[in-house]
């Protein structure tokens, strides 16, 4: 692709890695060569760097696509998902899933990123609703604003919740911060 096709969210292959353009600015002094000043994010590691290209430069587009899958099961060293449209299954190494495995419950929809046909990462929904499986009762009389306690949810993840939350209740959790958001009524 030509550098003039750059835009936000363009996906580029640089040094073998897929990068996404997160910010983009075109500058060009009178009669000078145009500069495309970009912030690009490595789609595998998340690291963000500044990169400037000149008018006339050629870039390689990254073969990247994201498809929604639902979680089926984990087997210790990998996690298996099913494409919501084609029912095709894909197993992703535990290393690739990383800490996100703490949110993987049956049928959870996740976006799987494929780079050159290979699954290289998952993106969780920003919020999930999970059942509290273990949680001590609130301490009577302790009503201090902001007081919290540990609660363990169905996948084994522990989060801080307000004192009024009880075992068996369902709570909404922010997957990016792992913070309790609210109680969800059935």
Partner 1 sequence: MPWPDRARLWDAVSSGARSHLRGTGLLEVSTPARVLAPAIEPWIEPLAAAPQWLRTSPELALKRLLARGVGSCFELAKVWRAGEIGDWHREEFHLLEWYRVADTAAGAAANFERLREDVEALVAAAATAREELGLSGPAAPARWETWTFDAAWHETTGQTRPADALDALREAARGVSGAPDAPLLARDAPADDRVAVLAAWSELFSWWSDGALDPWLERKAEAGIGIHIVDFPAPLAALAEIEGEGRDARARRFESFIGRVELANGYLELRDPRAQRERFARVAAMRAWSGLGPLPLDEGFLSELGQLPPVAGIALGFERLLAWCTGVRRLSDLALEPDPPRGSARG
CB of 52 to partner 1, least distance (A): 7
CA distances from 20 to 57, 112, 168 (A): 17, 16, 41
Angle of CA points 60, 64, 67, to nearest 5°: 165
CB of 102 to partner 1, least distance (A): 39
Q: Is residue 52 a contact point for partner 1 (CB under 8 A)? A: yes
Q: Is residue 46 a contact point for partner 1 (CB under 8 A)? A: no
As beta bridge partners, residue 80 has 73, 91
CB of 10 to partner 1, least distance (A): 10
Q: Is residue 5 a contact point for partner 1 (CB under 8 A)? A: yes
Q: Is residue 29 a contact point for partner 1 (CB under 8 A)? A: yes
Q: Is residue 181 a contact point for partner 1 (CB under 8 A)? A: no
- Who contacts 50 (Cβ-Cβ below 8 Å, separation ≥6)? 37, 38, 39, 40
**Which residues of this protein are in contact with partner 1, per CB under 8 A?**
4-5, 7, 25-35, 37, 52, 54-56
């Amino acid at each position: 692709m030509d550098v003039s096709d750059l835009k936000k969210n363009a996906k580029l292959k640089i040094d073998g890695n897929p990068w996404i353009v997160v910010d983009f600015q075109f500058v060009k002094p009178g009669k000078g060569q145009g500069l495309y000043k970009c912030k690009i994010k490595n789609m595998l590691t998340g690291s963000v760097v500044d990169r400037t290209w000149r008018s006339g430069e050629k870039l390689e587009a990254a073969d990247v696509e994201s498809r929604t899958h639902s979680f089926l099961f984990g087997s210790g060293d990998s996690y298996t998902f099913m494409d919501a449209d084609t029912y095709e299954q894909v197993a992703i190494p535990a290393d690739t899933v990383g800490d996100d495995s703490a949110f993987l419950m049956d049928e959870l929809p996740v976006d799987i990123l494929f780079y050159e046909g290979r699954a290289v990462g998952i993106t969780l929904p920003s919020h999930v609703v999970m059942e509290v499986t273990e949680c001590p009762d609130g301490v009577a009389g302790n009503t201090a604003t902001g007081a919290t306690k540990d609660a363990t949810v169905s996948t084994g993840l522990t989060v801080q919740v307000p004192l009024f939350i009880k075992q068996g209740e369902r709570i909404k959790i922010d997957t990016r911060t792992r913070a309790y958001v609210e109680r969800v009524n059935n």
